[in-house]
Structure 1
Amino acid sequence: MKKPILTLASFVFLIISTQMYAQRTLGKTIKSPKNVSAELSITSPKNNAKVSSPLTIAGTASKNAKVTLNVKATFAEGDQDLGTFEITSNRNGIWQSTPINLWAPEGVNNLKFEIMASESVVEKSKMKRLRKPNSKKIIVSPTSNIQRIERVEMTAKKIKELNPQLTEMPERVTQSPIDPITGHQRPQRPSSNIPNTYITSPTSNTNVDFPLIITGTAQKNSEVKIVINRHYTQYGQDIRQSTELNASTDANGQWKSGKLYSIQADAADDNVTLEITAVRVVNNSEQGNKASVTVNSQAKEKLGLKITSPESNLYQGEKVRSPFTVKGRAMKNHTLEIRVQTGQGSAGNYQQQNNGRVIKDWTSVSVDSRGYWSTQLNTGTPKTNNGRASQKEYKLTVLVRDKRNPSEITVLHLRR
């Protein structure tokens, strides 16, 4: 009799306990787990803001997330991709790009820039991992003159050329030591603490003088290969030259080239472009990233329109006899104009009547594809008056100018 009574009492106790527990549970507020991920946003610049170049873009995202920035110029005639840039947010979810060069194709109207930030958010489930794309877009307008260049296809090399401050960084992947799907321990990979190679001087888009000294940083006690590529023109002919040298880093990772004199071009039409790269080498094999800067320099001599033959004989040398040939150098495939008159005129006063008699007015002469030109001049004989010629008739002034730039005149004085 006691056993049925005990069983019935236990059953009643369980019913009462369950009701009391349910009442306590329903009386509590169930709290959601705290959201540790920041919402993707672009905090600077603001939408519809006025911006200048170079532009630094900042925002928020999930912590330690990879944010992809796509920058595009939009205009009445279409659009132009300016490149895609990757940034990693910090542990607080804050991210900021390096300064990005804003530019647009030549001759476009109603220019604006579209900035799209994207983040792939990983959502975990018991069976799989899903990636949900998340993106934010803003439109901004330029406040000042923006660099204009021809339309180009944006490649990684072109992005680096237009944004020389970008450094190629190896991708770093961080993983939990426990695989969330299998629950097994992941094998631990040794971390790489080898620093990147940098060029600290000169900086990109600057003008440099000679002798040039190149400095930078890399892994301590290592070898760095430096390559200097020169690009310039001589009378329109494209010249490309390369110089390679090595430097060693010290115990602090600092490296420096010697004083470089020989890389200065002897003669050029205009500026000389120097593209300098530096990369660490081990057993003649390149290792790690390659740092790059592009700078401008001046040649020892700036080329221009020249008369190379004959040389002036006004004060010494043999007299010229008609006809004679005049030769020189100029921009390839250009058209020159040549004028001959008596007397000793200059580029500034040759048109004055008392400076000589015109023998041959401006006549066209072609420059060949190598930048050479020549023409034969028939100057006749000195003009006499009462059987005698003035001293002015025995002097000749040869004037040469480029038809595209008639204000710059090269002068040769001769005695006949």
Structure 2
Amino acid sequence: MDIAHRRIGQPASEYKTREYNWAGNLGYRQERLERPTGVDALREIVAAASSVRALGSRHSFNDIADTTGTLVSLEHLPADISVDGAGRTVSVGAATRYGELAAELQRQGFALGNLASLPHISVAGAVATATHGSGNGNGNLATAVAAIEFVTASGDLRTARRGEDPDFEGMVVNLGALGIMTRLTLDVEPSFPVRQDAYTDLPWARVLDRFEEVTGAAYSVSLFTDWAGDTVSQAWLKSRTSADDGAPAAEAFFGGTRAEEPLHPVPGMSPVNCTQQLGVPGPWSDRLAHFRLAFTPSSGAELQSEYLVGSEHALAAIDAVRSLAPKLAPLLQISEIRTMAADRLWLSGNYGRSGIGLHFTWKPLQAEVEAFLPELESSLAPFAARPHWGKLFTGQAGPLERLYPRLEDFRALAGAWDPQGKFRNGFLERTVFAPAASPAS
């Protein structure tokens, strides 16, 4: 299957548009690209369109946002960040980047429970695809959603609220299939300081033997590896702390050695664009993400895949990937292992189960990565691995139906919200709405 429409290196003249995703591996195919400056203008655009999709911060690596009809960028809609301190929520424009939201919340003395590795992604895009940070007790970013405002297929404005709409848990991780999100209300809490400490060269044997202790050693833990050799190359620990906690971290961590200078997850890359390390306490807004908003994390010359596995299969899934190291190594920049808490969002990778995310940052070798993904996915299939909706994977609706118990319910929900299929595209038809194949006789 051709996962993307434009492989890196293909001439732009082959496509109708010069609009690409952040990584440059996909060219959007829209007939029209609209950039409304207000919700009323957006409503008119959606009502008049026969096919329409929303374009977020373009950090998806597949065609989830693509359409041959009308593509709508929300980048010019106002952020209009409004904090309800008494209710412990914040209302924010859908296209607002998490880094911008975090800075404003910190200014007002509030915090989100977690952030993804990149603060550059939009709130709506992250929520719609169940994007996550890390932490045994932390749900993905979508679990913070208390309300969503949508522009529906008819151009109407509709708000869904947690505790009021019986299908709310199906509306949050929505893949853009219900409408275009214009505002979201998120849970917040009082601001808290965080320190970030890093360790290098943790023996795999120690990590696997005490895996829950390793991942539970801080509020958020990330393990970076190239899968080769006997050690995990880096462990990043983000700990909730006090503002005056500047004491040195322990010299060793499960056999790893405390880093004495800042690190970048990818070997050989400068850490200048990474958030503050070396145990220096600071606001959550400047520590929970891996990278600083003011910097582009890299040139964008990369591809990404990720698969989420239940906690009970974590060690077996890690072993399965380690066995593929000789084939992985030529394609890989770095991998990251993170943990997430269970939730009840229908299309979340953590629906009904806590687990780990096995993240792969590939070199920009689209054809080679596409050729390898079936083998990787086959090795993870025994563990019911769910792919991240915004990254490269080869899954079809039939197999995915076995991974998401509420997928049929989501189809019905999307059919009720969008009976004419205005928000559907090739990605959704391939992954969500295509009928499952009949069993072989």
Shorter-chain TM range is under 0.3
Point out which structure has higher relative CO (alpha carbons under 8 A, 6+ apart).
2
Higher-strand-fraction structure: 1
Whose Rg is larger? 1
Higher-helix-fraction structure: 2
* TM-score for both structures, normalised by structure 2: 0.20
* TM-score for both structures, normalised by structure 1: 0.20
